[in-house]
Structure 1
Amino acid sequence: MSIICLEGISAVGKTTTAEELAHTTNVCVIPEVNLLFERPRKSSNTWYLERQVERWCLAEEKLKDYETVILDGDVFQPLSYNWCFDFQIYNQSLDFISEFYQKAIQAGRIQFPHKYFYLYANETNLRWRKENDQTRTRKNFEKHTGISQSHQRYYEALNQFRPGYVKLLEAASSKEAAKVVFHQRPLAAKDLNPEILLQNITRWLKENKA
Structure 2
Amino acid sequence: MAIICLEGASAVGKTTTSNELARMKNTYIVPEVNLLFERPKFETNTWYLERQVDRWKIAQEKQSKYDLVILDGDIFQPLSYNWCFDFKIYEQSLDIIYEFYREEIIKKKLMFPDKYFYLYTSINNLTNRKENDRTRKRRNFESHLDIIEPHQRYYEALYKFEPQFVQLIDAKNIEDNARVIKDNLPSSTPYRDSEELLDSIKNWLMKNKP
Give TM-score, length-normalised by structure 2.
0.97
How far apart are 1:105 and its partner, in Å? 0.3
What residue number does 2:54 align with? 54
What residue number does 1:101 align with? 101
How far apart are 1:23 and its partner, in Å? 1.7
Q: Give the fraction of aligned pairs with identical amino acids, expressed as a percent.
A: 57
1:181 matches 2:181: yes
What residue number does 1:69 align with? 69
Which runs of 5 or more structure 2 residues have no equivalent in the other structure?
none
In 2, are the aligned partners of 1:26 and 1:68 still within 8 Å (CA)? Answer: yes
How far apart in 2 are the matches of 1:195 and 1:98? 10
Instruction: List 4+ stretches of structure 1 deviating above 3 A.
Output: 187-190
In 2, are the aligned partners of 1:115 and 1:187 still within 8 Å (CA)? Answer: no
How far apart in 2 are the matches of 1:187 and 1:67? 11
How far apart are 1:174 and its partner, in Å? 0.8
1:31-90 CA distances to partner (integer Å, 9 max, x unpaired)? 000000000110210000000000000000001201210000000000000000000111
In 2, are the aligned partners of 1:165 and 1:187 still within 8 Å (CA)? Answer: no
What residue number does 1:40 align with? 40
What residue number does 1:156 align with? 156
How far apart in 2 are the matches of 1:121 and 1:153? 14
How far apart are 1:7 and its partner, in Å? 0.0
AA at the equivalent of 2:26? N
1:139 matches 2:147: no
How far apart are 1:187 and its partner, in Å? 7.0
How far apart in 1 are the matches of 2:115 and 2:151? 17
What residue number does 2:28 align with? 28
How far apart in 1 are the matches of 2:22 and 2:45? 33
How far apart are 1:118 and its partner, in Å? 0.3
How far apart are 1:200 and its partner, in Å? 0.1
1:166-185 CA distances to partner (integer Å, 9 max, x unpaired)? 10001111111001111113
How far apart in 2 are the matches of 1:184 and 1:205? 28
1:191 matches 2:172: no
Which runs of 5 or more structure 1 residues have no equivalent in the other structure?
none
The 1:188–1:195 alpha-carbon spacing in structure 2 relative to 1, beyond 3 Å, is: farther
How far apart are 1:188 and its partner, in Å? 4.5
What residue number does 2:112 align with? 112
In 1, are the aligned partners of 2:55 and 2:75 still within 8 Å (CA)? Answer: yes
In 1, are the aligned partners of 2:114 and 2:190 still within 8 Å (CA)? Answer: no
AA at the equivalent of 1:185? L
In 2, are the aligned partners of 1:10 and 1:138 still within 8 Å (CA)? Answer: yes
AA at the equivalent of 2:56? W
AA at the equivalent of 1:184? N
Compute the RMSD of aligned alpha carbons: 1.0
For these two proteins, the number of residue pairs brought into alignment is 210
How far apart in 2 are the matches of 1:36 and 1:182? 25
How far apart are 1:22 and its partner, in Å? 0.9
How far apart in 1 are the matches of 2:195 and 2:160? 16
Give TM-score, length-normalised by structure 1.
0.97
Paired residue secondary structure (1:7): strand
